[in-house]
Structure 1
Amino acid sequence: MQRRLLIGAGLGALAAPMVAKAQQSFTFRLHSFSSPTALDHTLHLDPWAARIQQQSQGRIRIESYPAMQLGGQPRDLPQQLEDGVVDIIWTVPGFTPGRFMGTEGLEMPFMNTGLSATESVAAYEFCTKNLADTEYRGIKIISIHSTDRALVHTSRKPIRVQDDFKGLRLRVAGRFIGEAVTALGATPVGIPLGGVYEATARNQVDGFLINWAITHPFRLYEVAKYHSEPKGGLFQGMLLTLMSLRSYNRLPAELKAVVDANSGAALSKQLGEVWDTQTQQAIDATRAAGNEIIEIPDAEKARWRNAVAPAYEAWIAEMNRRGRNGRALFDDMMSVTAAHGRT
C-alpha cells in the first residue's frame, strides 16, 4: 500500500491548477480488461481517475469498471468506445488485431529501447505524429506507454542460439511478434494472458514471450525455468489509455485543461517509470525460484535481428495495403526509437 501511495503521489507532478467548483459536472465510464488488483489499476488507472476528480473539484467523476465488468470481451473495448458505451478504455493493440496496426509495429522485435520510460515517450511521439488521423481518429489519447522489456521464457528447453527455437510452440500476444517467432523457427500460439500458466504447465506450449514485470504477479517463473534475453530485451508491448473525443469535447475549456494536464508524453513517461520499477523484483523472484537467466551475446542477437526481417516486411506491406507509405513509416519508427535509445 505504501508503494502504491508513493507512486501515485509521484504521478501527481502532472497536476493542473485547481478549477473553481461549478454546478455542471460530468461522469465518465472507464472500462478495462485488467484485474482491479493489477498494477494497471493500482498504479495507473485508479490514481489517474482520483487526480482528475480532485483537480476538477469533483466536477469530473470517473467510474472504473475493471475485468470487463460492463460485458463483452477485451477485443470489444475499442468498439465500445466508438459506440459510446463507455468513455475511456484501457487496452492493448493485440487484443483487437488490425485495429491498431500502426501501433503494433512498435511491438516488433528490436524496436525497443529496453526501458519503459524511454520507449513510452518514443511510442507516444510516433503514434501522435503518424497515426492520429487514422487509427486514433475520434480518440483523445490519454497515454501510450510500454511494458518493461520482454524476452523468451521456456519450460524445458533453454534457448541459447537461434537453432534452439526450432520445433517450439511459443505463446505470443500479437500478429507481428508471431511473424518474428515464425521467422526464428518456432510456432506462434495465441493464448490469453490468464491462460499462459496452465497452458505451459500442461505442455500445451513450450514457453512464451512476455515482459519481465508481468511474470511476477502471474507467478510464471513457476512454469518456465529458462529465460533468454538479448541485451535490452526482445521487444516491448504497448498499453493504451484512450478517451472518446466525443466525451472529451463535452467538457468546458477549464475541465479539458484538467484532462490535458493528466495526458500526453509526460504521463506516458511517468507510467513507463512505474513499469520499470517492477522489473527487478520479477528478476529477483525468478532467481529465487532457481531458474536460469540466459544472456544472449550481441553476436547472437544480431543473428536474431536479421532473422526477424520478414516481420518488418509484413508490417510494411500491411500498412501499404491500408493506403499508407509503409516504408516511410517504418523508417520514421526506426528514427524515433533510435533517438530515444533503441538498442
Structure 2
Amino acid sequence: MKRLSLTAAAMAAAFASAPAAAQTVLTLSSWVPPTHALTLAQKEWCDLVAKNSAGKIKCNQLPRGVAAPPGTIDAIKNGLADVSFTVHGYTPGRFVLTQMAEFPFLGDSAEPLSVAFNRVASKHPEFAKEHAGVHVLTYFTHGPGMVLNTKKPVTKLEDLQGLKWRVGGGMVNEISKTLGMNVTLKPAPESYELLSGGVMDGTLFPAESVDSFKLDKLIKYATTFPGGLYNTSFVFMMNEDKYKKLSPEEKKAVDDASGEVAARIFGRGWDKVDNKALENMKANGVQFTKADAKFIADVKSHTSKLEEKWAKEAEARGLKDAAKVLAEFRAEIAKAAK
C-alpha cells in the first residue's frame, strides 16, 4: 500500500513538472497608436484566432511598430514581426491592382467597401502576386475620404488649388494632382507636425484620423463628398514562412478569422470611429461643407480618365479585363451595402 502511494506521488510530481503544451506565438506590429481602430481591429482578429485554435495560438502585440509605415510590408516579409498591416500607397509604384479600391465616390462606409474589396481581390490571383513574400490575410479600406484644412472653406475646385496638402500616396496622389492640388506625400502619423507647424495647410483623410492623430484642435474646415473624394487600400498580412509553418489545425484557425471575416472586423471598427469623430468635429465647431453638384461634376470630369489609365496599367500587370473587374467591384459594394 505504501509502495502504491509512493508510486502515485511520483507520477503526480512528474505530471506537475512536465512542460505545458507548446503554444504558437504571433508577434504583432502596429505603426498607429494602441487605441487606434487598426490596432484594436488587429487585436480583435487575434482574439478570434486564439478562440478558433482553443488557445494554441496567442498574440504578442509589440509596444511600437518594427518599421516606419512605408517599410512595414518588407519588415513582415523579412520576419521582423509576424503580422501587421500597411497602406499600399506608401510605397509608390509597387502596387497597381489595389488602386481599384481608391477611386472617388465608391461608398459611404468602410465595412461594405472592405468586404467587396476582399471578395474581388481574392478571386483574382494577380492581386496576391503583387504581395509576393507575405501571406495576405485580408484586403480592406478606410471610410470615405474628405478634405480637411486649417485655412478656409473648400466649396469649389479652385479652393483646392491654393493650399498645400498632405496625402498618403497611391491613387489619392493621382486624384489630387489631376485636381491641380499642391500635394506632398507623407505617412499619416506625420500629419500633426506638418499641420501644426504650418508646413501643410490641409490633408485628405477619413473622419477618424482627426481624432486618431490629434488634429481636433487644428482642423477648422471639412468638405465631404457622396461616396468619398477618395479611398485608401490596405493589406493585413502575415509573414509567409510563419504561416507555412503552422499546423493544418492552426492554419484553419487563422484562415477562419481572415478573408471576409477580417475585412468586416477592420471595416466595422473604422465605421464606428468615423461616426464618433464626425460628432467630435461638429462639437469642436468644425465648419462642414457638402460638395454641391457642380463641385462633384468638376471632380468627375477631371478624374474620369484615371480609371482608364488604371485599367491599362493593371492589365500590364497581368489582370485580364481590368475594367470588368472594376465594374464587378462596384457591384459587390452595392451588394455588401444592402
Give me the TM-score of the superposition, normalised by structure 1. 0.83
Please tell me the residue identity of whatever aligns with 1:121. Answer: V
Is the alpha carbon distance of 1:241 and 1:175 closer, same or farther for their aligned partners in structure 2, counting shifts above 3 Å? closer
CA distance in 2 between partners of 1:315 and 1:117 (Å): 24
Specify whether residues 167 and 232 from structure 1 end up closer, same or farther in structure 2 by C-alpha distance, changes over 3 A only: same
Q: Quick one: which of 31, 49, 53 aligns to 1:52?
A: 49
Preserved contact between residue 27 and residue 61 of structure 1 (Cα < 8 Å)? yes
Moved over 6 A (4+): none
Find out whether 1:304 has 2:302 as its counterpart: no
Quote the offset at 1:323 in angstroms.
Answer: 4.8
Which residue pairs with 1:315 in the alignment?
310
SS of equivalent to 1:228: strand
> Which residue does the alignment assign to 2:250?
255
Deviation at 1:227, TM superposition (A): 0.7
SS at match of 2:246: coil
| Aligned twin of 1:117 | 111
In structure 2, C-alpha distance between the alignment counterparts of 1:305 and 1:201, rounded to whole Å? 32
1:106-255 equivalences under 5 Å are 106-110=101-105, 112-130=106-124, 131-255=126-250
Q: Which of 324, 333, 339 is the matching residue for 2:332?
A: 339
Distance in structure 2 (CA, Å) of the matches to 1:75 and 1:156: 29
Opposite residue 294 of structure 1, the aligned amino acid is T
30, 38, 43: which one aligns with 1:32: 30
Please state whether the residue corresponding to 1:94 is helix, strand or coil: helix
Contact 2:102 2:171 in 1 (8 A): yes
User: Relative to 1, partners in 2 of residues 1:158 and 1:338: Cα closer, same or farther, differing over 3 Å?
Assistant: farther
CA RMSD of aligned residues (A): 2.4
Moved more, 174-183 or 207-216: 174-183
* 8 Å CA contact retained: 1:107, 1:237: yes
Question: Judging changes above 3 Å, is the alpha-carbon distance between structure 1 residues 205 and 334 closer, same or farther for their aligned structure 2 residues?
Answer: farther
Q: Is the radius of gyration larger for structure 1 or structure 2?
A: 2
Matches of 1:56 and 1:92, distance apart in 2: 29
**Aligned equivalents of 2:214 and 2:185: distance in 1?**
19
8 Å CA contact 1:230–1:298 kept in 2: the answer is no
Letter of the 1:39 partner, please give it.
A
Alpha carbons 1:34, 1:66 under 8 Å: kept: no
- The match for 1:62 among 49, 59, 81 is 59
The alpha-carbon deviation at position 173 of structure 1 amounts to 0.6
Equivalent residue number for residue 5 of structure 2: none
For residues 158-182 of structure 1, the C-alpha deviation after alignment (integer angstroms, 9 at most, x for no partner) is 2111122222221111132111111
Deviation at 1:190, TM superposition (A): 1.5
Alignment partners' CA distance in 2, 1:198 and 1:84: 31
Which amino acid in the other structure matches residue 215 of structure 1? Answer: V
- Partner SS, residue 236 of structure 2: strand
After alignment, is 192-201 or 205-214 more displaced?
A: 192-201
Question: Mean alpha-carbon deviation: is it higher for 136-145 or for 293-302?
Answer: 136-145
Give the unaligned 5+ runs of structure 2: 1-19
Return the offset for 1:76: 1.9
Report the counterpart of residue 5 of structure 1 in structure 2. none
Quickly say closer, same or farther: Cα 1:336–1:321, change in 2 above 3 A: closer
Task: Compute the TM-score of the two structures, normalised by the length of structure 2.
Answer: 0.85
Alpha-carbon separation, structure 2, partners of 1:83 and 1:270: 26
1:265 aligns with 2:239: no
Instruction: Give the secondary structure class of the aligned counterpart of 1:85.
Output: coil
Q: Is the 8 A contact 1:145 1:272 kept in 2?
A: yes
- The 2-side partners of 1:66 and 1:307 are apart by 43
Structure 1, unmatched stretches of 5+, are 1-21
CA displacement at 1:319 relative to structure 2: 3.0
Q: Does the alignment pair 1:284 with 2:257?
A: no
Indicate conservation of the 8 Å contact 2:178/2:302, yes or no. Answer: yes
- Following the alignment from structure 1 to structure 2, what is the Cα–Cα distance between the partners of residues 330 and 204? 38
Contact 2:41 2:265 in 1 (8 A): no
Q: CA deviation at 1:138?
A: 4.6
Residue aligned with 2:258, SS: coil
| Residue aligned with 2:212, SS | coil
Q: Distance in 2 between matches of 1:38 and 1:217?
A: 6
Q: CA deviation at 1:137?
A: 3.7
The alignment-based identity, stated in percent, is 25
1:116 Cα deviation from its structure 2 partner: 0.8
Match of 1:94 among 85, 89, 92: 89
Contact 1:88 1:241 in 2 (8 A): yes
C-alpha displacement at 1:24, in angstroms?
4.4
Distance apart, 1:311 and its partner CA: 3.4
Matched residue of 2:29: which SS? Answer: strand
The CA deviation at 1:313 is 4.4
